[in-house]
A = this chain, B = another copy of it.
Amino acid sequence: MAEVAHMIDSEVFLAFSTYATIVILKMMLMSLMTSYYRLTKQVFANIEDTTLVVKTTEDRKKLVRFDPDVERVRRCHQNDLENIVPFVVIGLLYSLTGPDLSSALLHFRVFVGSRFIHTVTYVMALPQPSRGLFFGVGLCATISMAYRVLTTALFL
């Protein structure tokens, strides 16, 4: 990890910035997808939100409820949080270890690609093990970068 200050100007860091931003924007889209499902299916988590679609008090209480499709999108969002956050943290540190550009691009592309496909498999409820497979691919990309960080920068 010598001279990592130079790394921050490198193409690897530019690539990291690009892919991290894309995958974070993708994660933020899940919030909007949840809102869209809540409004179109009229399923709310808070009583005050129901005024967005109906006005009578009695009808409003019934709209605070669970819906399997909304919960599915929320689980997908949660899975993104649990996997994309580790990628961003470890990917940043990995970028500072001075990896080959081709090797770094491979890690970033595999991870980001696997998360986009993971979302499609989750939201569309495609048959397993498709979702498990792309979850695993993303996990392996992150662990591979973590391995390089630990072997390059280990200081306990």
Interface residues of A, Cβ cutoff 8 Å to B? 1-6, 8-9, 11, 13-15, 17-18, 20-22, 24-25, 27-28, 30-31, 45-49, 51-52, 72, 75, 77, 81-83, 85-86, 88-90, 93, 96, 122, 125-129, 131-132, 139, 142-143, 146, 149-150, 153-156
Contact A48 B128 (CB under 8 A): yes
- Cα distance A36–B93 in the bound complex, in angstroms: 29
- Cα distance A67–B126 in the bound complex, in angstroms: 24
25 A-B interface contacts by CB (under 8 A): A1-B9, A1-B14, A5-B5, A5-B8, A8-B8, A11-B155, A15-B155, A17-B153, A18-B156, A20-B89, A24-B90, A24-B146, A25-B86, A28-B83, A28-B86, A28-B139, A30-B82, A31-B82, A47-B125, A48-B125, A51-B127, A52-B128, A52-B132, A81-B82, A81-B85
- Cα distance A21–B77 in the bound complex, in angstroms: 23
Residues of B contacting A82 in the complex (Cβ-Cβ under 8 angstroms): 27-28, 30-31, 77, 81
Contact A75 B90 (CB under 8 A): no
Q: Smallest Cβ distance from A55 to chain B, in angstroms?
A: 12
Please name the residue on chain B nearest to A72 by beta carbon: B46
- Cα distance A90–B26 in the bound complex, in angstroms: 13
Contact B17 A9 (CB under 8 A): no
Residues of B contacting A88 in the complex (Cβ-Cβ under 8 angstroms): 89
Please name the residue on chain B nearest to A11 by beta carbon: B155
